[in-house]
Amino acid sequence: LIAAAGDVGRKADDRLRNRAVMELLYASGLRVSELVTLPAAALRGDPQMVLVRGKGGRERMVPLSAPARAAVAQWLAARDAEEERARIASGRAPSRFLFPGSGLAGHLTRQQVHGLLKACAIASGLSPALVTPHGLRHAFATHLLAGGADLRVIQTLLGHADLSTTEIYTHVLDDHLKALVL
C-alpha cells in the first residue's frame, strides 16, 4: 500500500505527496484531521518527533520513522518549489500546511485523503472497501502492541484520553493469537 502510493498521481509532485501522506498515516498513527492540518514548519529539519494537535486541542509528541522522514523531506522539497513558483506567478503567499489544498481551509481535505487511500488500495491490488485512514491507525497500534509496546505508550501515541479506548487493540491481538493456535 505504501509503495503503491508512490505510483498514484498524475504528476511527480502528486506521487511524492501521496507517498508522504501514506508514510505519515501508517508510521505515526495520526488521525486524518491531524494529518491534513500539520504545519509544514513542524516537519522541517528532519525531526525525529512531531508535535501533533489532536482532539480537544490536546497536544502530543509522535515519533517519525526513517521512511516517513525521508518521504516528508522529498515532499517538502517539491512542495516548497511549487509554492515558490506560485508566489512568483501570482503573488500568492505560501501555505502554512504540509499538505496545501485549494479549498477554503487551505489544506487537503479529509475526503481527498480518503480518495487517495482508495486509489492506493486499487493500485496495490487491495479491496478499496478494506482500506481506510482509521484502518492504518489501527494497524499502527496493533503492530506496536504485537511488537511488545506498552499499552500506556500506545495510548499516548494515539492521543487517547482514556485507556479503555486503547484496550480495544488487545482484543484484536488476542483474537489473532487464538487463530494462530487453533
Q: Catalytic pick from 58, 134, 152, 176? A: 134
85 catalytic residue (yes or no): no
114 catalytic residue (yes or no): no
Q: Catalytic pick from 31, 69, 79, 107? A: 31
Q: Catalytic pick from 17, 19, 107, 137? A: 137
d(CA 25, CA 110): 12
Q: Catalytic pick from 55, 58, 85, 176? A: 55
31 catalytic residue (yes or no): yes
137 catalytic residue (yes or no): yes
Sequence-distant (≥ 6) Cβ neighbours of residue 52 within 8 angstroms: 28, 30, 34, 38, 59, 60, 61, 62, 159
160 catalytic residue (yes or no): yes
d(CA 97, CA 40): 5
In the chain the first and final C-alpha atoms are separated, in Å, by 29
Question: Exposure of 134 by Cβ count < 10 A (0-12 exposed, 13-18 middle, 19+ buried)?
Answer: exposed
138 catalytic residue (yes or no): no
Q: Catalytic pick from 17, 19, 69, 160? A: 160
Burial letters for 2-23: b for 16+ Cβ neighbours within 10 Å, e otherwise?
bebbbebbeeebebbbbbbbbb
Looking at the annotation, which residues are catalytic?
Answer: 31, 55, 134, 137, 160, 169
